Amino acid sequence: MFLYLSKLLPLFFYPLGLVCISLLLSLVMLWKRPRTAAIAICFALIVLLLGSNGWVSHSLVRSLEWQNLPPAEIPHAEAIVVLGGATKPALPPRPTVDLNQHGNRIIYAAQLYRQKKAPVIILSGGRIDWAGQGHSESEDMATILTSIGIPTEALIQEPNSLNTYQNAVYVKKILESRGIHRVLLVTSAIHMPRSLLIFNRLGIDVIPTPTDFIITESDMKDLVGTPKAAILSFLPDVENLNQVTSALREYVGIIVYRLRGWA
């Protein structure tokens, strides 16, 4: 039940959800309480304008992504841990497993393995039952990695976790059973702060190895590069709205996980 609510309820606190609620409220109140309807419409407009401009989106995403910038030289460890959420299952008409927007996690893990940063890769991720999407994420990640030449014997699958907390819990069991003490943790940069809090809380010695950065130094400079760029960054953009939602999802996750004692 918690898993279902954790996926559903936050939708109403993200910009698009808030806008929809406000507009629905204004529609209901339009004839009987036009003043309340007008306030709801103004609130929806403010949320939409703030959530879709470049200054807000870049700042929010950067506040998460730049907390754990990668070192110039990635240290060696005993295993590479890759968190799920980077694949699309092989459902028709897809001929095979695809990478989604977070697919850099898998590619980066393969690069670290080829650089001999660790001898094994632990793939952590199940599949939510109600999605009805077949294989676990760990199996899908293994399919991608073996297709690009990573040997099967170097892969350890953890197919049971359904959220970041469970990722850490099940990975810890694997580490303890194999006597592994230090790992490189690979996930998207925006997801790394929450992941790191949970893994550290469980006493796992992890080296944050983020990838899939959305905001670069160049992106931040572009906001003030020219007067025209600064003005354009205030205009609504759907990609900015998506980035704000992603950042808010992580902050909501951190709050919820802290309240539950997971982080």
Written as one string, the DSSP assignment of 134-189 is -S-HHHHHHHHHHHTT--GGGEEEE----SHHHHHHHHHHHHHHHT--EEEEE-BT
Structure tokens at 138: 């760990």
CA separation for the pair 35, 201 (Å, rounded):
49
Same domain membership, residue 197 and residue 77: yes
Same domain membership, residue 86 and residue 157: yes
CA separation for the pair 69, 87 (Å, rounded):
24
Same domain membership, residue 168 and residue 102: yes
What is the total count of domains within the chain?
Answer: 2
Coil, strand or helix at 128: coil
| pLDDT value of residue 3 | 52
Residue 2 pLDDT grade (very low, low, confident, very high; cuts 50, 70, 90): low
Higher-scoring residue by pLDDT: 168, 233: 168
191 pLDDT above the threshold of 70: yes
202 pLDDT above the threshold of 60: yes
User: Cα–chain-centroid distance for residue 111?
Assistant: 20
The residues near 65 (Cβ < 8 Å, ≥ 6 apart) are 189, 190, 192, 210, 213, 214, 215
| pLDDT value of residue 212 | 96
Same domain membership, residue 91 and residue 201: yes
Q: Answer for the pair 240, 56: CB distance below 8 angstroms, yes or no.
A: yes
Total residue count of the chain as it appears in this document: 263
Same domain membership, residue 86 and residue 174: yes
Query: CA-based angle 162:167:170, to the nearest 5?
Result: 105
Same domain membership, residue 92 and residue 195: yes
CA-based end-to-end distance of the chain? 20
**Which range marks the domain in which residue 173 is found?**
73-208
Higher-scoring residue by pLDDT: 197, 21: 197
Q: Answer for the pair 115, 150: CB distance below 8 angstroms, yes or no.
A: no
Same domain membership, residue 195 and residue 78: yes
The residues near 168 (Cβ < 8 Å, ≥ 6 apart) are 195, 198, 199, 201, 202, 204
Q: Answer for the pair 160, 126: CB distance below 8 angstroms, yes or no.
A: yes
Boundary residue ending a domain (166, 186, 208): 208
Coil, strand or helix at 87: strand
Where residue 115 sits, what CATH number does that domain have? 3.40.50.620
60 pLDDT above the threshold of 70: yes
CA dihedral sign, ordered 170, 176, 177, 178: positive
Average pLDDT (73-85) is: 97
Structure tokens at 136: 């676990």
Boundary residue ending a domain (188, 208, 228): 208
| pLDDT value of residue 6 | 58
CA separation for the pair 68, 181 (Å, rounded):
21
Q: Tell which residue, 239, 213, 165, has the closest CA to residue 67.
A: 213
Structure tokens at 165: 């907390």
